[in-house]
Amino acid sequence: MGHLRFNKELPHKASGTINQLESAFSHVFENMVFFREELDRHSGKAAAALQKKMNDHIGFFSKASSCLLFFADSVQCFAKAVEMTDESDQPVNISPEGRSERSYAFSAERVKSEISINARSLSQAAAKFESNLSTLDEVLNHFETMLRQMMFETKFPWSDVDHIWPEAKRQINAIISEVRKRLQELAKEADELIAELTRVDNLISQQLQRVK
Amino acid sequence: MLYYREQEVKNILKSHVSKANSILALAQSNRFLEAFKTSWETVQYGSISSSLTGSVMAFDSTELKSEVDMWIRDLKACKQQAENKFRSLEKPTYEEERKYANIVSDVTVLVDTYQDLKGKIDEIDQDFKNAVRVYRAPMREALTDISILYHSVNHVKGNFTGFKNVSVYVHGIEDTGNGFFESVKEAAKDGDIILRVNRDGSKEYYRVTILNDEKMIEQVSDFKKLQDTAQYKNKTGRLHIIYETEQKNEHRQETSDDLAEKLNEMGLMNENTKIDMFGHSYGGRRSLQFAMDYPDHVRSITSIGTPYDTNYLSTMANNVRWAAEKIGQDPKDTSDYLDFNEKNRNTKDGMEYSNAYTDMASEPMTEDIHHLKSANPEVYQKLLKMDITAAAGYRMEDTVSFSPYYTASGKHKISSDDTVSVESQNGEILGNLIDKKPQIEVEGSGVTNPGHIYEVEDEEFIHLIEETNEKQRQ
C-alpha cells in the first residue's frame, strides 16, 4: 500500500458538517425549484430572464451539491474504515451513500413533484429564502474548512487517485468558489425575484377572483 | 536471554529503538504500535514509549518495512564484523570467543524478531489494504464528477470537443480491441475518425475517406497530424473509439470509471456529445454500467454475446482458478477495484478483489439495476428510454439421430454461442430495459472453437453497427 495520511478527528467532525450541508443545500434547492415553478406561470420578460438564470443555477446546484457531498462522504467513510481497522483486525465495510441516491436527492424533477404551489406557500418560501441562503453560506464555511482539512491532511494510498489529487483539489476549490459566487448572485437577485413572484402571484389571484 | 548482550549490539539497538519511537510517533497507529511493542518484548532493549496523542495518522508500510530491513542489515553487518575480527585472531582468548558467540546468538534472535515484525507489518498492511480499497472507486467517481462539472462550468475543451456522434466499443474478458477494430473499419463511413485507446495507454488515429466508392482507412501518425485532416476539422463524421481496458479482466465499474475519466479528458462528457456504446461479451455489462453511471451522455447500447445473468463458465473459472489458468484464462487478473457487494469478491494472496469473473459468478449486475430502480428512478427511466439492443449469437449444428428407425438430416439451431446462452445474451433477466433482441447465426464448431469468438466480426453484427450508427445520429 502506498502512503496513507489522514486526520483521525475527521470522521467525527465531517459527519455533522455533511448532514448540516445536505440539509442547507436541500432547503435552498427546494426554494429554487419552487420559484422556478412559480415563474413558469408568468411569461413576462423579467420572469423569463429570471427563469433562465434559475434553470442554470438549479442545474449547477444539483450537480455541485451531489458531487461535493458524495466526495466528502466517501472520504469520511474511508477515514472511518482506516480508524476501525486500526482498532481491531475485524473486517469493516461502511458504505458511503451511493452516487445515484445522492443525485436523486438533488433532482429538480423529484423536488418539483413533491411541491405544491399556492399563495401561502409562495409567501412562506419567499420569507425563508434569504434566511436559507445565509444558513447555506454559513454551513458552507464549515464545510470549506472541513474540506480544506480533508485535502490538506489526506493522502490516499492508491497511485491513480494520488496522481489526480492535486488537480482535483484545485477543481474542488473552484467549484466551491463557484457555489459561493452563485450564492451571492442569488442573494442579490432574491429581492428582485421575490418581488416578481409576488407580483405574478397577486396578478393570478386577481384574475382568479375575477373569474369567480 | 541465555547470553550477554555486547556493547556493539546495544549501540545498534539504541539507534533502532529511537528510530522506532519516532516512526510510531509519526504513524499514530494503534496496531503498528502494538506490533512493535510485542516485538520489543523479545528485543529487550529500551522501550517503545511512543503514545497515540496526535491527530494525524500517516504511514507508508513499504517505508516501515524497508526501515526494518535496514535494521536487519545493521545487525548482520555487526555479526559479519565480529566474525571477521574473530577469524583474524590466531589464538582467541576465552573472552573473545565468548563475545563472538554472544554476538552471533543475539543477532540471530534479533533478526528473527525483526523478520517476524515485518510479517506483522505485512498482515496489518493487508488489513488496511482490504479495508480501504473499497473506497477507491467512490472517491474516483466523485472526483471525476467534480471534474466533469468543472469542465462544464469553465468551458474546458479537450482534444475531441465538438464531435457530436461518438461510438465507444468495449471488448469482453481475456480479449483486446482487435476484433472491434476490424469490424469498425468495415462499418465506418466517409469522414469518420477511428481512435484506438490501447491497454498500454497509447493512442492510434485513423481517418476514413471514401473516393469513387473505395473506402480508405489511413493511419495518422499522431494527434498533431490528425488536427490537419479534414475529418478532424469538419467534425461532421463519427468518432469511433475502440477502447481497450487497462486490465483485461477488470470489473465493469472499473471500466466505467476509467472511461469516464478518459472521455472527460478528451472533451466528450458534455451535453452536445452523444455516445453510442457497443459491447461484446462482458463488454456489454461494462457498457451498461457506463450508461447507468452517465445516462445523460449515453444514447444507445448495442451488445452481442453478453452474459447478462450468471455465467456457468465464468463461475467455474472463478471457483476453480487453477483449472481456468491451465486453459489460458486469467481469473485473478484484476485492477485495484473492490466491490461493496461482498458476494462480488474473491481473494488472491490475502488481498480481496473484484473482477469480471467474480461479477459473472452471481447476479450483482441485476441486483445493481434493481437497486438503481429504487435509489434513482429517474436514471432507471432514462435507461428505459435509451435504445438498448441485446443481440445474441447462436450456432447451427448438424442434426444427429440416435433412432434406429429413421435418419435425421439437416441442421438445427443450438441455444447458445457455445459460451453464453441466447436467453442470457438477449438480456431476458433485464426485462423491459432491452428494446431489441436480434439473433445472429455465427461461425464456430463447438466448445474448442466457440461461436462466441466470431461474433464481433460477424457480417450481420457489422451491419447492426452500421445501422445503429446511422440511426443514432444528430
Q: Where are the domains of chain B?
A: 7-140, 157-471
> Measuring CA to CA, which residue among B116, B22, B108 is closest to residue B63?
B22
Question: Best residue in A74, A83, A164, A172 to probe B by mutation, most B CBs within 10 Å?
Answer: A74
Neighbours of A29 (CB within 10 A): 23
Task: Measure in Å the smallest separation between the Cα of B267 and chain A Cα atoms.
Answer: 16
B243-256 burial: b if 16+ Cβ within 10 Å, else e: bbbbbbbbbbbbbb
In a domain, A140, yes or no: yes
CA dihedral B297, B300, B305, B306 (to 10 degrees): 50
Residue A138 to residues A25, A28, A142, B132, B198, Cα–Cα distance (Å): 11, 13, 7, 32, 48
Total number of domains in chain A? 1
User: What sections of B266-343 are H helices per DSSP?
Assistant: 282-293, 312-319, 321-326
Collect the ranges in chain A with pLDDT lower than 50: none
How far is residue B426's CA from residue B433's CA, in Å, rounded to a whole number? Answer: 11
Task: Measure in Å the smallest separation between the Cα of B140 and chain A Cα atoms.
Answer: 7
Residue type, B398: D
In a domain, A1, yes or no: no
On whether the CB atoms of residues B200 and B276 are closer than 8 A, the answer is: no
- What pLDDT score does A93 carry? 76
Residues 6+ apart with CB under 8 A from B139: A71, A74, A75, A78, A156, A161
B416-432 burial: b if 16+ Cβ within 10 Å, else e: bbbbbbbebbbbbbbee
**pLDDT tens-place string over residues B118-163:** 999 999 988 888 888 899 999 999 999 999 999 999 999 999 999 9
Q: Name chain B contacts of A156, Cβ cutoff 8 Å.
A: 136, 139
How far is residue B318's CA from residue B357's CA, in Å, rounded to a whole number? Answer: 6
Give helix B459-471 / helix B178-187 axis angle, nearest 10°.
60
- What pLDDT score does A146 carry? 83
Q: How many residues appear in chain B?
A: 474
Neighbours of B187 (CB within 10 A): 26
Task: Measure in Å the smallest separation between the Cα of B469 and chain A Cα atoms.
Answer: 29
Say yes or no: domain B157-471 is CATH 1.20.1740.10: no
On whether the CB atoms of residues B133 and B352 are closer than 8 A, the answer is: yes
> Measuring CA to CA, which residue among B23, B29, B18 is closest to residue B54?
B29
Collect the ranges in chain B with pLDDT lower than 50: none
Q: Name chain B contacts of A80, Cβ cutoff 8 Å.
A: none
- Facing residue for A171 by CB, picked from B63, B146, B376: B146
Residue A19 to residues A62, A97, A131, Cα–Cα distance (Å): 16, 12, 18
For every residue of A150-212, DSSP letters joined together read HHHH-B-S-HHHHHHHHHHHHHHHHHHHHHHHHHHHHHHHHHHHHHHHHHHHHHHHHHHHHH-
In a domain, A100, yes or no: yes
How far is residue B190's CA from residue B129's CA, in Å, rounded to a whole number? Answer: 50
- What pLDDT score does A65 carry? 93
- Facing residue for A63 by CB, picked from B129, B131, B149: B149
- What pLDDT score does A78 carry? 87
Residue contact B149–A64, C-beta within 8 A: yes
CA dihedral B229, B231, B232, B236 (to 10 degrees): 160
How far is residue A152's CA from residue A169's CA, in Å, rounded to a whole number? Answer: 9
Q: How many residues appear in chain A?
A: 212
Q: Name chain A contacts of B141, Cβ cutoff 8 Å.
A: 70, 99
How far is residue B467's CA from residue B187's CA, in Å, rounded to a whole number? Answer: 9
Task: Measure in Å the smallest separation between the Cα of B414 and chain A Cα atoms.
Answer: 40
Instruction: Write out the residue range of the structural domain in which residue A158 sits.
Output: 10-211
Residue contact B139–A7, C-beta within 8 A: no
User: What sections of B213-302 are H helices per DSSP?
Assistant: 223-227, 230-234, 252-265, 282-293
- What pLDDT score does A199 carry? 73
- What pLDDT score does A204 carry? 67
> Measuring CA to CA, which residue among A14, A23, A118 is closest to residue A73?
A14
In a domain, A108, yes or no: yes
- What pLDDT score does B329 carry? 87
How far is residue B411's CA from residue B406's CA, in Å, rounded to a whole number? Answer: 16
**pLDDT tens-place string over residues A177-210:** 999 899 888 877 777 777 776 776 676 677 777 7
How far is residue B204's CA from residue B249's CA, in Å, rounded to a whole number? Answer: 22
Rounded to the nearest 5°, which phi and psi values hold at B253? -70, -40
Claim: this prediction has a pTM higher than 0.95:
no
How far is residue A180's CA from residue A177's CA, in Å, rounded to a whole number? Answer: 5
**SS3 for A1-14, per residue?**
CCCEEEECCHHHHH
Task: Measure in Å the smallest separation between the Cα of A180 and chain B Cα atoms.
Answer: 14
How far is residue B381's CA from residue B433's CA, in Å, rounded to a whole number? Answer: 9
Consecutive H or E run containing B165: strand B165-170
ipTM for the whole complex: 0.88
In a domain, A4, yes or no: no
Residue A144 to residues A14, A27, A135, A161, Cα–Cα distance (Å): 11, 19, 14, 21
Q: Searching chain B, which residue's CA lies closest to the CA of residue A150?
A: B56
What is the DSSP secondary structure assignment for residue B209, as one 8-state letter? E
Residue contact B140–A160, C-beta within 8 A: yes
CA dihedral (B224, B230, B234, B237) positive or negative: negative
Beta bridge partners of B166: B239, B275
Taking only residues 5 to 64 of chain A, the set having a beta carbon closer than 8 angstroms to any beta carbon of chain B reads 5-9, 60, 63-64
